Structure 1
Amino acid sequence: MVFEYAPNGNLQEKLHEREKEVLSWKTRTSIAFQLAQAIEYLHEKCTLQIVHGDIKPSNVLLDQYFNCKLCDFGSAKMGFSSTVVPPSCSRTKQVMVGSPGYTDPHYLRTGLASKKNDVYGLGVIILELVTGMKAFCPEKGHLLTSIVAPNLRGISEHGAEEKVAQLVDPRLAGEFDLEDARCLLSIAALCLHQCLTVRPSASQIIEMIKEKINFHRLPVHTSQRLPLAAN
């Protein structure tokens, strides 16, 4: 495989390796937006629509300006009607590989791949960007979605400001926008909803971010190129 050179490595390293410089709030917000753009392109703008199948931070490369590039299409399924037949129903085990903490529970139950699987993975990454916590702790077997999900109820309601602030990565030392955080957490809650019809499409996520996030605070070097890596 051939990848573009990404001098800032991948999002997993930058977000979770403690010796690394802490990602700023505006960089995290920009990454969430660009990743949604990448997924929108795969889901809605390709001639044959694509389900990526493995949306996770280690598959998000970062260039010199922290613009993101979604990579690794080894688990992708092409075509809107692409489904994965549960192994119990077929001798040919067409299993879409996922990663612990990012795989949609609906997919695990049914074996059916859809765009909403990618939306679920995006929701987990948005939670990571806001909270700074890992999606899965192998030592304790804890899932970020299980820990944080109960706190997402009513996050968009008036009076939830304290709850929002408590969920934001403490390493930011208060350097974040409360309404931006509320917006991203609200989007994450929708992306992680157990009912697939409640989960928004990538284009709807982009519109929600555009409507709620103050883009004048985002990095000035945001690339105009498609946020996908050639591989």
Structure 2
Amino acid sequence: MLYASTPVELITLLYHFCAGYYSCYCFCPFSGPMGFFLGCFGCGNHRHRLQDHLNNDQDTGTRVGDNDQDYWSPAVTGLKRYRWQEIETMTQNFSQVIGVGGFSSVYLACLPAESTLAAVKVYHSSSLRLNQVFKSELDITSQLHHPGIVKLLGYCNDREEGVLVFEYIPHGTLEEKLHSSRNQEAVLPWKNRMAIVFQLAQALEYLHDECSHHIVHGDIKSSNILLDAHLNSKLCDFGSAKMGFSSAQRPMINNLSLMGSPGYTDPHYLTTGIASKKNDIYSLGVIILELITGAEAFCAENDQMLTSTMRVRRNGNFELEVNKVVQMAEQQLILAGLTDTEEATNMAYVAALCLHQLPGLRPSAADVCRIMREKISSIAFLFSTDAHKLEQNSLQFYATQP
């Protein structure tokens, strides 16, 4: 048993136990509002422990999706269903791994008919629990059509392992761009940083307000933001997503799956178990801080979260914290090509609003988009005639897909 008396301690325990970027773990209240009993389904070095638990949890004799004709939404039934042999051919027998999580691996693939690249996500385990995760991600992503969200192309459920086929986004993740030693010489320009925030906020506005079933992503982090050849952002990994939320929902304790990742998870969610759109907004605030400062959301070396630099009080007085963030980021801003710190100050205020202790006082994703349009001139290039045409063409393309 592991115990944590504060959200910071809880996230630190989660980080050390999971030792990876992809996490799935469970918790339930223990005693008092801040006490937790933590049962962790870890990843990375703890994957075998998870596999043993999950394999004991359910028999593994059926393929993913068997006898689920009533489950699939119309969006899923309209998707291309690949055979396992096709998946093997497309991935050249799973020869090139481009991503690894606790419960899945992602392989580079080539679609034979279109001669285009794709990313194939294969779930490792055949337990009922992960089958449900696979089916949930399939059901949710099949309904999403937005240029700021990675597009699902098809799926395979021939075998015990569930398979999802996505469009391939060639330039890696925002995490790699910001924090990988390979990219230290090519600093991400300020205007692209702001464009990434704006595009992410647009994607969240779509999920939270424009989808027929409101969706909470549940795991917004820099490693789940992909970058295309023009540094446009695309949100991925809906394995933790919740569908059908109007504002907030408290899940049943015996069926509670903790969303989020160390450094990005809303403390209010950790202490209450209430999942809402405002959890995603909190994580958006962390992303903004990452892009302003260039620092990681969670530093394992000193057990410090980036949000510790910005303690937003209940009274909303956060001028001191904003100035602290801008001073901390001074060198990073110069490298990013920003000579006037006014925009950085404005964005630090936006981050502070997103990180407010009281979820009800955080802005919506639509509010963030509106503020950025009014205050951040660096994103003006996104609204040029050519960019507008490109965006409209993208929207039209996605709207015509099944």
TM-score interval, normalised by the smaller of the two chains: 0.7 to 0.9
Match of 1:204 among 350, 367, 373: 367
Q: Confirm or deny: 8 A CA contact 2:311 2:318 kept in the other structure.
A: yes
Identity of aligned residues (%): 52
Q: What residue number does 2:182 align with?
A: 19
| 2:130 is the alignment partner of 1:4 | no
**Equivalent residue in structure 1 for 2:380, among 213, 216, 223:** 216
Matched to 2:280, the amino acid is D
- Residues 95 and 156 (structure 1 numbering): CA distance in 2 closer, same or farther, change over 3 Å? closer
| Kept in 2: contact 1:95–1:111 (CA 8 A) | no
1:171 CA displacement: 3.6
Q: Which structure has more strand as a fraction of its residues? A: 2
Q: Extract unaligned runs of 5+ from structure 1.
A: none
Q: Which amino acid aligns with 2:225?
A: V
Larger Cα Rg: Structure 1 or Structure 2? 2
Query: 2:309 touches 2:321 (CA, 8 Å); kept in 1?
Result: no
Looking at structure 1, the residues matched to 258 and 330 of structure 2 have their Cα atoms a distance apart, in angstroms, of: 32
SS for the counterpart of 1:69 is strand
1:128 counterpart = 2:290:
yes
1: CA distance, partners of 2:309 / 2:362: 20
2:229 pairs with 1:67 = no
The amino acid across from 1:216 in the alignment is: A
Structure 2 CA distance, aligned partners of 1:156 and 1:212? Answer: 19
Maintained 8 Å contact 2:293/2:325: no
* 2:220 alignment partner, one of 51, 55, 64: 55
CA distance in 2, matches of 1:102, 1:23: 21
1:93, CA displacement in angstroms?
Answer: 2.3
Tell me how far apart the structure 2 counterparts of residues 97 and 133 of structure 1 sit (CA, whole Å): 22
State the distance in 2 between where 1:205 and 1:171 align: 23
3-state SS, counterpart of residue 173 of structure 1:
helix
Q: Please point out which of 93, 98, 103 is paired with 2:265.
A: 103
In 1, the alpha carbon distance for the partners of 2:257 and 2:320 equals: 35
Structure 2 residue 310 is matched with structure 1 residue 145: no
Q: How does the TM-score come out when normalised to structure 1?
A: 0.85
CA distance in 2, matches of 1:164, 1:99: 22
The one-letter code of the counterpart of 1:24 is: P
| 1:206-226 deviations in Å (ceiling 9; x for gaps) | 000001011335597755136
Q: Which has the higher contact order (CA 8 A, sep 6+)?
A: 1
Distance of 2:187 and 2:330 partners within structure 1: 10
Residue segments in structure 2 that go unaligned for 5+ positions in a row: 1-163
Classify 1:62/1:219 alpha carbon distance in 2 versus 1 (closer, same or farther; 3 Å): farther
Q: 2:95 matched to which residue of 1?
A: none
* Segment of structure 1 superposing worse, 111-120 or 169-178: 169-178
Specify the SS of the correspondent of 2:226. strand
Alignment-mate amino acid for residue 294 of structure 2: G
The CA RMSD over aligned residues, in Å, is 2.6
Aligned length: 219
Give distance in 2, aligned partners of 1:171 and 1:190. 22
CA distance in 2, matches of 1:164, 1:124: 12
| TM-score, normalising length: structure 2 | 0.50
Q: CA deviation at 1:60?
A: 0.4
CA gap 1:2/1:67 in 2 versus in 1, 3 angstroms: same
Following superposition, the deviation at residue 6 of structure 1 comes to 1.5
Instruction: Show the 5 A alignment for 1:162-201.
Output: 163=324, 165-168=326-329, 170-173=331-334, 175-176=337-338, 177-201=340-364
Query: In structure 2, which of residues 252, 255, 259 is the aligned counterpart of residue 93 of structure 1?
Result: 255
